[in-house]
Structure 1
Amino acid sequence: MKSLRIARALLRSKTFWVMALFSAIVVYRFYDEYKKVQSEVVQSWLKTPAADCAVVLTGGPGRVREGFDLLANQRVKKLIISGVYSNARLREIMPVWPFYGNLTENDVVLDRRSETTYGNAQQSLPIVEALKCRDVLLVTSKLHMYRAYHTFRAAFPENIYIQKHSIIGGRYESLVWEASFEALKSLFYSVWAY
């Protein structure tokens, strides 16, 4: 009897219905972000891109190597590696540097200040502008690309063209928990970053 009265009181409560509506909206938005995160296409398999600069977002396997491949194959003129450790040196980041032939260290810029995707975008913009890059290849993983692209698009001016260049660093299909965690981060970023 007591639980029935509590249930009736809850159903008459405006707070209950507001919280239920809010929860439904959050669940819907989370599901929408999850689908968007999962729908990214591996751009590096579809075309051979070219741009003035490439911005590589650290944090996953294969990203830095892909950036160096783009630079070595003259698909980009300058390479920005965003999010490296503060004491990292170029030769430590890319120990196989000697095998890349005629690359010069002047063509690679290390961003040591950013620690998040938002920071990557904010710290890369002045570097991109200083290098006079009109178009940028954004290099990151397939799973991270949706959030990264929208964060960069919100931070960069419209006159700088950003091309997605997603790669696979490990498995092609991400695990459900990995995609869910990325969707949660994307949901958070969609509220304040883009």
Structure 2
Amino acid sequence: MILRLFAAVMLVYAFGFLGFAVSLPQPAADEKTDAVIVLTGGPGRIARGLDVVEQGLAREMFVSGVDPDVTPAEFAAEFDVSRRVMQCCVKLGYLAVDTRSNAGEAAQWLKENEFTSVRLVTTDWHMARSAAEFSETLPPDMLVVKDAVVSHPQLATLYLEYNKLLAAAISQGLPR
């Protein structure tokens, strides 16, 4: 009996992982939002956020999880951001150290600016967990557009992220 239960759990886990791995989200359509949130940590994320602002799909961009040693001038130089865009449209967040704190930091910024819609930019393999963390933190009436940066992750990356997603789901089900 216990062996069958274990086998059933492992089968559900394996099919869940397979579903996760083959259904990674795609970039969003050209839907306008008040702001764009970019989570640091992967190639192409900041460039995608800047594209969104430059195309007029969002008024402002918040970059969550920036290293505290990075100045706005260094950020602008690294990503070729004009002074005008940095001053009007790009805000750097230095408090977040993980996906959960990204959500908290971004939620505070969105609230302070009274935004009602946001585009969430992160890597495709990171989107499910990021969106789950954000849904726990943002107001229920906040429109969130998921805008995944396409990548070609290694199997180990997918495996680790799937397990983090499961852990986050379990954690969200527990009282805090």
TM-score normalised according to structure 2 size: 0.85
Distance 2:53 2:172 in 1: 30
Q: Secondary structure at the match of 2:69?
A: coil
- Residue aligning to 2:158: 179
Kept in 1: contact 2:76–2:86 (CA 8 A): no
Structure 1 residue 102, shift from structure 2 partner: 4.1
Q: Which runs of 4+ in 1 moved over 4 A?
A: none
1:39 corresponds to 2:23: yes
What amino acid sits opposite 2:167 in the alignment? Answer: F
Q: 1:139: which partner in 2?
A: 121
Provide structure 2 residue ranges, at least 5 long, that are not aligned to the other structure: none
Identity of aligned pairs, percent?
22
| 1:94 to partner: Cα distance | 3.5
Corresponding position of 2:68 = 86
Query: How many pairs does the alignment contain?
Result: 171
Matches within 5 A, 1:83-162: 83-95=65-77, 96-98=80-82, 102-162=84-144
- Worse overlay, 110-119 or 22-31: 22-31
Q: TM-score, normalised by structure 1?
A: 0.78
Query: Which structure would you say has the larger Rg?
Result: 1
String of CA shifts for 1:77-125, please: whole Å, max 9, x gaps. 1111001111212232232113xx8424242221111111111111111
Distance 1:27 1:94, change over 3 A: farther
